[in-house]
Structure 1
């Protein structure tokens, strides 16, 4: 692998070990933010932090940045060996390590413009990208790259993909308000459980093309108390919706609202709903994908460049292009043998691929600036 030395590989291994052992959940990445900011200052950079949120960003080089790279910094909250705790089982510790590697490599390069490296909080809660957008962090950028470690079932260890086509996801919560009544007189009440059952049935009537991948289903419901002879008048529920494309998600959402209206009218119940999280499907730019493909080939050779990966999971990264359609984005899929799988409490992967990922990202940023220079001359 070009431009990589043993010293940098050892440095990145130390950074990964620290980040892996100090996970913090979404919007609580206080020490992680401090650690990265101090690291950046130690190498002569000037990171920008926020008074009202975690996360940070830093510019490398002079002028206004046109090319950027974003990493996520939060961990999951899950049960590990019988104890609930923060846990890096989605690879964000590895993503941060690659970002740090890219920082160290970029500092030694003579680029025609600044590069913005973004350390984003709260990817797992699907609100970190929105927060960064509101701060204006993305505004000057033309290209924005990201990365994600991939499970072995998607990519072989050492084979890397120039794009990840994640799907869209929505988490919707709701409240049903009916009328309580005596179990002997159900006609005097509005049974919230029956309303929920009707809504579940209505969700099955939301039709989409069989050529499109999508689903919508109720995943939580709570209703009734300890007495079995009372018609329950209230219930809360959660809906999980998935679609491979944003347009399909729009159709599913419209169908859901029609189902809610129809069921509430039929039963005379009130159904209030709220979108708790929205993850946009990938909007991969063909130009950015080609740049990433070239970067992979430059770094590890064409034989190790895999096709783009279509995956049913979601990624907050894609919210950037969803809100700024002019932004040229793609995500590097790092083939590093993730097993047993993402979000498994014992997830592990080949950490030797992290310096490779840092080099690929650095090459992609250099090639993006080369592409911009070419377009300006034209």
Structure 2
């Protein structure tokens, strides 16, 4: 009986795959591709599936690759395990010998590791099959575009009982798996504010309406939304990430554009921020005699883990890293994840894998210097394989 410590056979079997998983992760790391253009990446994954006689569905560039581990019983429950294929725009500054060969693109969010983990889980499940069906979902465009919806629209997941995913992070150490119940990531929205003033000569400001001055004042005022209008117990972040204005040093800018993001975990907080932004935009328009307009675009909903699937994931994690390695989330991340769209359709659980040694320098996700300790690859592979084994017990019992 497992006393809460790790099942050494589980992780030992996965560790035998370390050389293979490392090679695969590095191969994927070298060829990062942006959202909906993961052609070479999909080809590498398909090659891995073909090599192992795993049937798959692929609709071409911009679509997901969905492998199928069939147990031979079409009436058996089906679960899904998900990894992302896309990379980020940017340049890599890791100095790794397998750094990105695609200029302006970089795997700075660990999706290369997630894909390798999922292939590793498939190998482990082939070695010791389970009596349920398992879909291996390699999806496009998590970073932008909500590629999970592309997979959902294929109908391939229509009969899935639950879906599971994980993400590497430096917030936890190697040998730790974090999970939480309920809301684990934030709602994200984007907004664009366009300021239309009146251009003029820098020597005669009285003849113009300076869009830059209005923009600068508006940026500062927007920061009071969270500081003074949101309950401090309710998480919220409003960020202005882009400011575009002006054409020359001696020209008063006629137009300025502010682009930003809103992160919230409660719908009431989200509504308050939306209304507050609109109020400020209207007020600045009247105050400065300028045309100030705003467009808000809804982003990814919160990831909301379901109770039974969190318990399933906890048991799987304990078998891999032991009770001491399972970390419970204290509060939601203000990041966002398009895994949320799956969870609007079916139960599931999203976890995080510690991916650095305790004495290793912390590097945040999306940094051009982000890298992982590759020993996390068999940990993730073992976890996903144990998810399927735990699901076999839970969902077969519920048939």
Q: Which range, TM-score by smaller chain?
A: 0.7 to 0.9
Aligned to 1:210: 232
CA distance in 1, matches of 2:311, 2:289: 55
Distance 2:223 2:147 in 1: 32
2:305–2:348 contact (8 Å) kept in structure 1: yes
Corresponding residue number in structure 2 for 1:78: 90
What residue is the counterpart of 1:174 in the other structure? 193
Deviation at 1:231, TM superposition (A): 3.8
The residue aligned with 2:32 is 23
Q: Does the CA contact (< 8 Å) of 2:306 and 2:348 recur in 1?
A: yes
Shift of 1:290: 0.9
The verdict on how the C-alpha distance between 1:218 and 1:52 changes in structure 2, with shifts beyond 3 A counting, is: same
Q: Deviations over 1:144-183 (max 9, x none)?
A: 11011121xx323212123482333333233222333455
Structure 2 residue aligned with 1:345: 368
C-alpha deviations, 1:33-83, integer Å up to 9, x for none? 011112112211221112351431122115376311110112223233499
**When the two structures are aligned, how many residues end up with a matched partner?**
371
Does structure 2 retain, via aligned residues, the 8 Å contact 1:181–1:232? yes
Deviates more, 1:22-31 or 1:302-311: 302-311
Please, which of 146, 158, 166 is the counterpart of residue 175 of structure 2?
Answer: 158
Distance 1:36 1:134 in 2: 21
Closer/same/farther in 2, CA of residues 184 and 226 from structure 1, 3 Å limit? closer
Deviation at 1:137, TM superposition (A): 4.2
| 1:2 matched residue in structure 2 | 9
Root-mean-square deviation over aligned CA pairs: 2.8
TM, length-normalised to structure 2: 0.82
* Alignment counterpart, residue 290 of structure 1, candidates 299, 305, 311: 311
Partner Cα distance (1:265, 1:51) in 2: 51
Give the deviation of 1:184 after TM superposition.
6.5
CA contact 1:178–1:270 (8 Å) conserved in 2? yes
Aligned to 1:56: 65
Q: Deviations over 1:99-158 (max 9, x none)?
A: 10111122344434321111112222252223323333443323111011121xx32321
Give me the whole-angstrom Cα distance separating, in 1, the residues matched to 2:310 and 2:198. Answer: 55
Q: 1:355 and 2:374 equivalent?
A: no
Structure 2: where are the runs of 5+ without partners? 1-7
Q: Is the 8 A contact 1:123 1:315 kept in 2?
A: no
Q: 1:10 to 1:180 in 2, by over 3 A?
A: closer
The aligned counterpart of 1:334 is 353
Determine the structure 1 residue equivalent to 2:111. 92
SS at match of 1:130: helix
Which of these residues, 353, 358, 366, is aligned with residue 389 of structure 2? 366
Structure-1 separation of matches of 2:216 and 2:368:
33
- How far apart are 1:208 and its partner, in Å? 0.6
User: Which residue, out of 13, 21, 26, partners 1:12?
Assistant: 21
Whether the aligned pair in 1 keeps the contact of 2:316 and 2:390 (CA below 8 Å) is yes
For the residues of structure 1 that align with 2:347 and 2:372, how far apart are their CA atoms?
29
- Displacement after TM superposition at 1:280 (Å): 2.8
Scaled by the length of structure 1, the TM-score of the pair is 0.86
